[in-house]
Amino acid sequence: MLSASQEIRDGDESPDRIRSPNHIVLATDFSARCDRAQNRAVQLAVQWNASLTAVHVLSDIDVTDDVSLRDAYRAAARRNANRLREELACVEGLRSSVIVQEGPIDAVLVEAAARERAELLVTGIAGSGQLGQALIGSTVTALARASSVPLLVVKKKVLNKYAKAAVATDLSDSSKPALAAALHWFAFRELVLFHAVDQPYRGMVDDKTAYDIQSETSSLNQCHSFVKDVAGDCAIENLDIIVRRGDPVTGLRILANDADIDLVVSGTHGRTGLLHVLFGSVASRILNEVPCDVLVVPSRSR
């Protein structure tokens, strides 16, 4: 592992600062399973002085032909929406609304984000129920692919603002918005740029130690150039750069556990490594194995 120092200053207000989101859309099923996502969405909305729209999707309304049962689903959703409106109205300084809509979860949420001109989608990873099942695996992948705005998947209990974060990158242009969002949306105490090194010819080299050092040094230099392209020379002093060999998902999981990371920030796709597999066949593995919140930033976000 190679690193380059140190900590993000809370008061950074550089002239090229990217503005934080003005509107957040929260996916909710009105149950306790979504409490962590709701708490984080509220915390960020207050922190950024942003509006919050909670969206409940009646995705299973067509499962039954029983009209009475459908009406009961809709009535329960309306009651829960009113209760959530009252709950959110008690949060000082929060501008909020709650809507209920029928249809496919990913399509409804993407449409709601576009309609509300939202700049962030927030979901949880509940383990049961229609919404809970949809927010892991293939549907969250489809949601992230379809959304033109960043998607925040909340896993950890909300105790405070995000303090420690890691930006996963393969150094491609598509991952630059992820680093920019991490640098300018938040005031992290510690920020890490994480890059997994692919070494396809390592088995053919006699002096593997020298090869590893050369490969990691070259990757570290590339990381410096990447950070400079995104945010200038001064940004390099404000974060750690970590280069690791091997499986990027395993490396990221180890980092998140060892460093007690609160948030992992990633792009939607890239050439190799973590960004390549994130929305491939192991998307659910990343969400299940990385023990912290994940923010997915499209290559072209608002």
Q: Are 168 and 292 found together in one domain? A: yes
Residue 239 forms part of a structural domain: yes
Task: Give the integer Cα–Cα distance in Å for 223 and 139.
Answer: 32
Q: What pLDDT is attached to residue 300?
A: 64
Task: Give the integer Cα–Cα distance in Å for 137 and 289.
Answer: 12
Q: What is the DSSP code string of 80-141?
A: HHHHHHHHHHTSTT-EEEEEEEES-HHHHHHHHHHHTT-SEEEE---SSHHHHHHTSTHHHH
Q: What pLDDT is attached to residue 94?
A: 97
Residue 17 forms part of a structural domain: no
Three-state secondary-structure class, residue 146? helix
Q: Contact 50/24 with Cβ under 8 angstroms?
A: yes
Q: What pLDDT is attached to residue 12?
A: 41
Q: Are 141 and 168 found together in one domain? A: no
pLDDT at 281 over 50: no
Q: Are 123 and 181 found together in one domain? A: no
Q: Are 46 and 145 found together in one domain? A: yes
Of 27, 260, 267, nearest in space to 162 by CA? 260
* Average confidence (pLDDT) over 150-163: 92
Non-local CB neighbours of 178 within 8 Å, separated by 6+ positions: 167, 168, 169, 265, 266, 267, 295, 297
Q: Which helix (H) or strand (E) segment is 195 a member of?
A: strand 190-197
Q: Are 120 and 70 found together in one domain? A: yes
Q: Can you give the pTM of this predicted structure?
A: 0.84
Residue 12 forms part of a structural domain: no
Residue 16 forms part of a structural domain: no
Task: Give the integer Cα–Cα distance in Å for 237 and 233.
Answer: 8
Residue 209 forms part of a structural domain: yes
* Average confidence (pLDDT) over 225-242: 88
Residue at token pair 């190679």: 2
Q: What is the pLDDT of residues 40-90, one digit of tens each?
A: 999 999 999 999 999 999 887 766 778 888 888 899 999 999 999 999 999
Q: Are 128 and 170 found together in one domain? A: no
Per-residue pLDDT band at 286 (split at 50, 70, 90)? low
* Average confidence (pLDDT) over 128-134: 43
Residue 159 forms part of a structural domain: no
Q: Are 141 and 31 found together in one domain? A: yes
pLDDT at 109 over 70: yes
Q: Are 123 and 213 found together in one domain? A: no
Q: What pLDDT is attached to residue 216?
A: 74
| Angle, alpha carbons 198-204-208 (nearest 5°) | 70
Q: Are 136 and 32 found together in one domain? A: yes
Structure tokens at 206: 């006699």
pLDDT at 270 over 70: no
Q: Domain end: 149, 181, 214, which one?
A: 149
pLDDT at 39 over 80: yes
Q: How far apart are the first and last CA of the chain?
A: 34
Residue 8 forms part of a structural domain: no
Q: Are 31 and 117 found together in one domain? A: yes
Per-residue pLDDT band at 301 (split at 50, 70, 90)? very low
Q: Domain end: 93, 122, 149, which one?
A: 149
Q: Which of 48-52, 83-87, 136-140, 148-152 has the lowest mean pLDDT?
A: 136-140
Q: What is the DSSP code string of 223-261?
A: HHHHHHHHH-HHHHTTSEEEEEES-HHHHHHHHHHHTT-
Q: Domain end: 124, 149, 174, which one?
A: 149
Q: Higher confidence at residue 216 or residue 280?
A: 216
pLDDT at 256 over 70: yes
CATH of the domain at 93: 3.40.50.620
Task: Determine how β-strand 293-297 pairs with β-strand 151-153.
Answer: antiparallel
Residue 107 forms part of a structural domain: yes
What letter represents residue 33's amino acid? Answer: R
Q: Contact 112/99 with Cβ under 8 angstroms?
A: yes
pLDDT at 132 over 90: no
Whole domain around residue 190: which residue ranges? Answer: 164-297
Q: What is the pLDDT of residues 164-177, one digit of tens each?
A: 999 988 888 888 99
Non-local CB neighbours of 33 within 8 Å, separated by 6+ positions: 124, 126, 127, 128, 129, 132
Total of domains in the chain: 2
Per-residue pLDDT band at 259 (split at 50, 70, 90)? very high
Q: Are 171 and 292 found together in one domain? A: yes
Q: What is the pLDDT of residues 188-217, one digit of tens each?
A: 999 999 988 776 555 566 665 765 667 677
Q: Are 276 and 194 found together in one domain? A: yes
